[in-house]
Every structure is written in structure tokens, then in C-alpha cells.
Structure 1
Amino acid sequence: RGRLSRATSSRMSELPMRVQGNRMSTAYTTPQSKKPSFGKLSIPKPQSVTSERRTSFFGARTSGASMPRNSTMSGFGGTEKIKDSRPLHDKSFVQQCIRQLHEFLAEHGYPGTLSTKTLQSPSTKEFVKMFEFIYRQLDPSFEMPNSKVEEEVPAILKALRYPFVLSKCSMYSVGAPHTWPQALGALVWLIDNVKIKWSLSKQELLFSDFCEDGDNMEDGAGYNKLFLDYTAETYSKFMRGGDTYDYEDDTFITKLKKFYDVDESSLSVMEEKHRILSEQLERLEKESQTDRLMTKRMERMKLQTDLKQLQNYRSSLESFKTNLENKDSELNNELENAASHLDALKHERNELQQQLQNQKFTPADVERINREKRELEQTISGLTKSLEDAEQHKWNEEIALAKVKEKAELKVSEYNKLARKLKLIPMSAENACGRDFEIRPFDCASGTMVQQKTQIQMLLTKLISDVEEENTRLANMKLTLEESSEQVNSNILDKSNDLKQLREQIRKLDEQLDCEMQELAREEEDWAGEMKSAENHQKLLEKKVNYGYDEAVQQLKAAQQQYHLVLQETNEERRTVANNLASVFTAAADHLSVTEKCLEDLHCRVQRVCSKAVEEDQAAVTKLRETLKSFVPKANSL
């Protein structure tokens, strides 16, 4: 049914009808299960699976100057080199591309290990794995060859019309700082192509009815001839002005029946069988739970992985909580000690205040003592602040030292891990040859560390020399493999450069650690000198306070003797002041009575003026009302 309906409805998709007409019946069917397609003649047959090189929807992946120009994603023609306008040497842009690559690989189930540190400078093997995983999103049947990968990847990018050049030499050291941004840009461009393909596959394409079931296309030359004749006749009639093709449709169906030997008597039986089989197929599809079971299994595996990660995170949180509890207990002990010390100081201060209250001083002595006390308090507060700043600086330096030590321990652990991978640790390892290549932690003495470092460097140097001799011997044995030997030599050169860089970084870190230790020792000596000078100053101030106290006692005795004389003079002055105040109060009372009388007269005058003004205002208001009354009738008459 679908065969004839599609064959006869192909005219409807060419041009709209000028006149409405009845289409031919679609009740006829053929016993074949394959369906013709409108675009059959323009679609080539798929290549054989056993072909040497597979193709994707982007077109053939060929390398060299004879690369085809009919790729679906082709947007850059010719062989002209285009300058890359992306800021690939900008660190922020590179980090953004790394995050985009990490998110894409993590979301789509990348089988390898993923970490931001790995993506900062991956090896050639890891780059090839990521490239193969991304390209399989475009061509699921793609398989990366085992040899000449450095030629295959640029050829694939060139076949996909990658607008920029990724050289063959850059594939030998992908993780280098000068080549990794270009390779990263190529991966991000490939990811964008994958997203474009997915977005296009989700859209409804033109003639989608004819693109369904692409595997069930007609292969017979006879059918092609019949369909071409039918199309030519209907199109010729359409060009002459016709819009109905009943005769051509009947003729085409008759020829199809003869071509496929259709038995009309078995059509009803075939339709019934088709209906029964369709119902069985729908029932089986509903009952099938294989896909759901696989989905649930995948979800269970993901949940188990998440559970392991959460358990690891919980264990790390528990260890962190234990450390915090230990620090909290230490801080509580220090706080209790400080509180007890503060209580003792408060008690001593109360005793001193009580003693000070019991003493008898003049106001001048009290002011002088308070001034000296304030000066001493300011000095003490300044010294306390400087001491706190020094302690804070010391704490910061200790934290920085701990971070540097932690980084150094991390480097040591990375070295030991690498040595284990290279089978150099323990002494019984395959490549150790009974020698100890392990670097111990930093708890031992510096002399032992230097000796251990020198010994390990000598052993590593000897091991490197042995490896180089072995490589030389193997190179002499395999002179025929020149291309492979060049690759190995280039890789060894890159690794030696990386090793030199790591050694230079370790030397710089050691120098920086020594400088920081010397600076910390100098600062501790400065702090000790400042503390000693502060203690000397405190002792000097205590001597001055005691000396001032003796002088104050002597001055108090002299002041008591002068007190009686001053008291007599004060009594006489008090009597004089009382007489003067009495005379002043009498004059003020007389002035107040005179002022009150003047105010009363002024008040009476103001009241008289206000009454006159109110009467005048009332007369004016009366006149305005009369004028209004006379104006209203005139306005109404108008």
C-alpha cells in the first residue's frame, strides 16, 4: 500500500495543481516489501562495509590535493590558508575551551579518565582517544588506525573542511604549550560540527516521507524505467496545461501489476495478514522492555559511581572534621588560659584601683597621674597592636611555608608515583636493579635529604644512561624503521625538555624555600629585639612611676599645710560675693516690675488696633457680598 501511495503521490510534491481533481485510488498493493523513493535516482548506493576507508555523512575522508569539494559541511573552498582569528593564546579563552571540551566528554560518556589537569597538557595518545570519541558522534563506524595517526588526524580535519592548518609535526607533541591551543581549537570546532549535525537531525526535512526507510529502496532497473516513463508523461501533460492524470495513473498501475505479477484476489487476504501482523508488532513493541532494562542498568552503574564518589567525599569530610575538632580543642585551651590570665589581670587592676581610691591627692596630681596613665595605656596598646601584627605576620608566613611544603610533598608523591609506574620502586621492582629510587618525606634532616637526592640523581643518571645505551643498541638493530625512529627520537627530545623544565622548577622552588626560611629567621630575630626593647621600656616606666609617687606624697604634705590659709581667704571672699549678689538681685527685681508694666500697656494698644482692623474687614466683606448679589441676576439674564 505504501509503495503505490508514494509512487502516485510523487506528482503532488512537484508543483501545486491548477485545478482540483480526484486522485487515483490507492487500494492496490504489490507483494514486495520494498518502497520506492522520490529521490531514488539521485541517491547513490551505500559503499560496501568491507571497503578500505569508511565514509560519514560529511563525505569521503581523503587526504592530499585531490580532496573532493562536495562535503556537506563545506564552507571554505580552495587551498588558501586562512588566519585563525580565535584568541588561542589567551589563557582565559583556552580555559573556556577546556571547560567546554570537558563538559561535552563528561555528558556523552567518554570512556577514558577526565580531569582538568589532564586537559591542560594531554599526551598524543589521549588527544587521539578524544578525537576518535568525538568523530564517532559523526560516523559511528569510524575506527582510528593503529599506525600513522599523526597523518590520519590532519587528513580527517582537512576532509571535513577545517579552515585552519593542523600540521603533522604538531601531532608529535600535542601537549606542548605552543601546539596544544591549536589542537584544542580543532577539537572545539569538531564539537560544534557534532552539535550542528544533531540539531539538523532533529528537524523535519523536506520530502521526509521519501527519506524514511532508506534501506528499503527499490533496486530494480525495470521499476526505474516504468517510473521514469510515468514521470515524463505526467510532466509533459502538466506542461501542456493538464492537472488530472487518471489515465496515466491507471496505465502505470496496470504496468506495475504486470511487472510484479499482482493477484487481485489475494489482496483482501494480504490486507488481513498485514493487519494481524501490525497488531502483533505493536503488541510485541509494547511488551519489549529490553531498552528500559538497559537504561536502568546504566542508571544503576552511574548511581553506584556517584555513591563511591560521595563515600570518598564523606571520608575526606570526616578527616577534615577531625582536624577541625582538634584545632577547636587547642583553641579552647588557649582561650581558657587567656581567660584565666584576664581574670588575674582584672583582679590586679581592681586592687590597684582600690589602692588608688584610698590615696589622697590634689586635683593637679590626679590630672598628672591620669595623663601619665593615658600615655602608658597608649604605649601599651601600641605595643600590643605591634605584637599582634607580628604574630599575624608570623602566622601568615607559617601558612605560606606549610603550603610550599605541601607542594613539595605533592611533587615527591608524583615522583614516587611515576617511579612506580616505571617499575623503579620498590627495590625489588623490575627496573630498579636492587637500587633505592624512592624519595622519603621531608621529616628527616636536611643533610640526609641532600645525600638522598644526590644518590637518587646519580642512580637516575646512570639509569638514563643505561636506557640511552639500550635505545642506541635497538636503533642500530632497527635501521630499516627510519620513520618510527624519528618519531621516537622526537618524543625523547620532548620528554628531556620537559624533564629539564621540571628540574629547573624544582631548583627554583628550593631557592625560594631557602630565601623564605632566611627571611623568616630574620623576622623572628627582629621580633625578639622589639620584645626585649619593650620590656626595658616597661621597667623604665615603672621606675618613673615609683619616683613620681614619692614626690606626690611630699607635695601632699605641703598642700595640707597651705590648706588652712586658703580656707580663711575663701570664707572672706564668700561673704563679699554674697553681699554683691544681694544687691544685684534687688536691682533685677525692680527692672522686672518696670518691664511688666510696659508690656501690659503695649498689649492694650495692640488689642485696640486689632478690633479696628476687624471692623474694617467686616465692612469690606459686606460690600463684596452686595456686589455679588447684584452681579448674579445680570449673569443669569445674559
Structure 2
Amino acid sequence: MTDPTATSSLPVAAAKKHNMRLGIPRPSTAFSTAQLPGNNQLASRSGNGLIAPRQLPSATQDGSAAPGQASRRTTMITSRGIDGRESVMGVGRGDIRIRSSVFPAPGQGRPSLASGMHPSSIVRDPRPVRDKAFQNSCVKTIGEYLAAVRYPGSMTPKTLVSPTAKEFHDIFRFLVNDVINVGMVWGKKFDDDANTVLKDLRYPSMESFTKTSFTAPGSPQSWPNLLAMLNWLVELCKAHDNWNDSDCTSDPVLMSWEDLPLDYPNLEDRLLWNFACKTYDQWFNGAIEEFSEAEQELENIYGKLVTHYGLELMCESGRMMTTSSKEREKLEMAVQKRDVELHQLQAQEPPLKKIEDEYVQLMSDKTKFIAFIDLHRQKAEKTRQAILKVRAGISGQEEELESQRSDLARIESAVNAQNLSPDEVNKMNHDRDTLIRHLDELRIKIAEVSQSSYDQELMVTKCMDRFESLHADYTSFAHQIGLLSEPRDGSTVQPDDINYHLDFDLGGEGLEDLRTIGSRMRTSVWQGLQARRETYRQRALELSNDAITLDDIHDRIGQQVDRRKEEAANLEVKLRMTHEKAEAAQTKLGLDNVNTNEIIVQLETEVTNMLAASQQGVLTVQSQLESTRIAFKELRHRSALLKDAITVQVGEHIDMILKAKQHALNSLRSIRALADAQ
């Protein structure tokens, strides 16, 4: 079975590498091949190594498309417009990087096709767009270029100073058509088309445009940025005009072989190609059998190459001698350094204890890795079973293809054996042309359906990636709250007889298996989570009751403190009364009342100690109560939000994945049925 893409002159990867080296921008898929005229013509040139856009894979003799065409995305590197110039635009998905899934199965990682086409970081415009000198330079550059290319629109002195919306739109369309193609199809909304074109051309300062920039381009706020953008487009047009000019390019593919240096890596291939072309042209035009002049020229060039390589060999030998002496000195220094290190190691005590600790750690890691390997072996077994199912389906399709081919050969032999009249032959030819037209229409429909299927595949892949991210969050949170921790007996079932492990592969398991897993998640896992939430709610209620109890205790302690304060106040009153009595007695009795003074000092000390102890106790109880209350509120709020959000998102994404996968399967079945019917 032949590959429909085998007719390309270069592999797609080589063409991509070549375009990256030439600096060709790779726009997104905003411009389809239908918008670029001439996409059905070969635009490759033998000199620059560019390849033509791949056509739609033609049907085989039995009417079915060639195998593998659904998985191969066509890539358009260049296209030739009406004026014969090569466009630098290219569309395709062949340059999308494939990244691995978050949970790949061993040996069978499911590639994710979702990837950004543009850089996410915003780069500010470094040009002085508000500077008058810069604006005058841009006006001069744009005006000279429009005059040189004979711009058909009307130009006034204010066109490049404060243009109207129509003047700006005409200039922008003219420059864009000059860069991309004359057949560029413009929509009704100029703002959307302009933003799409600039994004595809990778204009580096898209953030400088606002919603009103293209509707009112002549305003003082919008025109400086738009003028800088037009100047950028003019520079791009100039570079595009000189794209294939050998005097302006340094690309060795576009240069003549006579201008290449002798150390060019593919010079021999270029010489052989030029020799073959030149001799074939002479033979074809003049029927010449001997090519002495071309052979002599080739021998002279190879003589120069031999001389060049001889000089290089001599220089290389000298460099090798110098390098060997330097290496010898380095080795001697390294030997001395290693001797010093050896003496140091011999003088030190052997690190046996450290090695033993490392051994214990490694043995623990070994046990963990063995469990990890067992888990991945189970996943690998599931993947192998899925591969066997796919191979069985492929074998059935190949047998069906062979039977169709045998039927086609039998029908052709029967048709050749018939004796048909010219009218019947003409009628059959007419019917064949009609069938060919119908077949072309079916190919177009198949291409449209394939594109729709690819979009559905991208959506399914994004949903699967989102689901895997949510599954990782679910696993992480489940480990944190103890749902996936193994009990002491080693089983994965929790005390409530529910297995919360969600172990499956979205890329390897069938639709029925995914439905079974989704049903289990909606029934057992969801109910188990609801039961645990109810349990946690009961615990939270108990903690709330405990908090209420603590509040009551706090109130009682506060009442006791108040009573103590009242007692202290009473004691202070009594102390004051005693002090007054003491003063009166002192006034009366003099300095003989020493016992009364001792009683007063003792009472003051007791009151102070009681006040300090009561205040310290109140502060301690209040701090403990507040910290406990804050921690409990945060824990309850976070656990409730995380459980509800994760459970709802997991359920929604599983339903979305199942619906998208079922829709994709139905689309593929309808395509196959349509192809079989035709």
C-alpha cells in the first residue's frame, strides 16, 4: 500500500527546518488553503528546496481513501499567487509540538495535541512611535514604497498624517495583498480581518491597538501605532520582493554554486547536480554524447577541493599536535590532583556509616519503586489489550480491502471481455466522468468532515487534558484527606467498603469501560464522598458544640473573674477603711501600731497576686479559643469548597468526554458508511 504523501520532494520535517532557517513566519490556521489562490499548483522550486502543498489524498482503485491519510495533516510551505510570486505564508498543524500526558501509561503515552500557536508573553514596542522624527521617517518610507509599486489609490498630503478610515483600509489591504496573495478574501468586519492578519504575520506589538484603532485611524491616539505598523508591513513587503534575489540573500540554497565557499558541507551534491543538469541540457538540445568541457570544469573544481582539503589537513595536524601537548599537560595536572585527593581520602576515616544510611534509604526507595512498577505493569497490560483490539480491527480492514481488490479485478476482467459498441463506450465514458465528478464532491465532503473530526479530536484532547488535571487534583486532595491511604491490611478499600482509586487510561480504554468508570464515580464514589461529607459535617457539628461548651466555660470563668474583681474591690474598700482606722488609731495612738501595718501590707500583696493571676488566665483562655475557632472555620470552609468543586467538575468533564468521543465515533462511522456507499 502506497503512502499518498510519498510524492513530496522533501520530507515535511526537512521543509520545516529549512523554513525556520530562512526565517519564514509560521502563522496560525486563520488562513485556510481555500483563501490562498493557486493552492492546487505545484509551487516548489528545485533551487531553493521548498516543497509544494500536499494535495488531498486520492482514492485508491476500490474507491477508499489511502490508509493513514486521516492522521497525516497536510502542510503548505509556500503557494504561488496570480502574479507568480511565492508567498511567505504557510498554514498547517504539522509544527504543533506533542507533549506527554500528565499520567502516561508505560510504553504507551497518549500524546496531547493541544498547544499554543503564539507566544504568551507580551512584548512592548521598543520603537519611539510618538517621536516626530520617527513618524516622518515612516511617512517617507511608506510614501516612497507606495509610489514605487504604483499604488492605485488616491494620495493626499494628509493621507499619511491623518488618514480617513477608507484611506487606511485601502493602504492596509494593498500591503497585505502584496505580502500574502492577490486573492486574499476579506470579510465584512475589517477590524477582525486586520487583527487576524497581524497575528498570523506575528506583528510584535499587538497590545498597542485598541478596539477603536481601526475604526478611527486618524485620531492622535491611534495613528502613531498604526503608522509604525504600516512601516513594518512596508519593510516586510521589501524583504518579500528580494526573497529570491541572489544579490540580497545569504542563503546557500539560493546562491549559485560558484559563490559557495569550498568548505560548504553539501558542495559535492551541488556540483553533481549542476553537472547532471548541464550535461543533460546539452544532450537534450544538441544530441552530444561527450561532455569534455563540463568534465574538465568538474575536474578543476575537484582539484581546488583537494588542495583546500590538503591545506586543511595540514592545519588540522598542527592543531592536533598542539592540542595533544595541551591535553598531556592537563592529564599530568589531573594526575597530580588525583594523587592529592587520594592522600586526603586515605587520611580520612572511611564513611561507612554514611554508606549504611544510604543503603537503608535505597532499600526503602527500592520497595517504593517496586510498588510503582507493579502499578505501571497493570497499566501496560491494559494498554496491550487495547493494542491487540486495534490490531484485530486493522487485520479485518486489510482482509476486506483485499476482497474489494479481487472484486475490482474480476469486474475489470468481465468488462474487458465484453464486446461493446462505440455508443456504449461513449455512454460508459460519460458515466465515468459523472462518477468522477461525484467522487471529487465526495472528496471535498470527506475533507470537510475530516477537518470537523480533527476539531472534535482537539476538543476531546483538551477535555482529556483538563480531566487528567482534575484527576491529579482529586488524587492529591484524596491523599490529603486520607481517602487513598492504604489501610494496615494492605488493601485499597476504605473502611466504608468503597474504593476511591480512579485508575484508568483515557487513551487506551474503550468507551464502555469509560462509561462503567463514570457510572461507578456517579454512584459509589459520589455516594461515598457524600457520606464522608455528612460524617465530616457531624464532626464539625460536634466541634461546634464543643466550641459552644468552651464559650460557656469561658463565660463562667468570666463570671468568676467578675466575682473575684468584686471581692477585690470589697477588699480594697475594707483596706481603705482599715487604713483610715489605722490612720485614726495612729493619730490617736502614735507610732505603736506596727501589727496593723503588717496586716495592711499582707492584704495588698494578696490582692495584687489575685489580680495578676486572674488577668493572665483570662488572656490565655481567650487566645486559645480564638486560635481554635479560626482554624476550625478555615478547615471547614476549605474542605467543603474543594470537595464540591472537584466532584462537580470531574462529573461534568467525564460527561463531556463521553459525549465528544461518542460524537467522533458516530462521525467516523458516517464517513465510512458514505465511502462504502459510493
TM-score, normalization by structure 2: 0.23
Query: Highest Rg: 1 or 2?
Result: 1
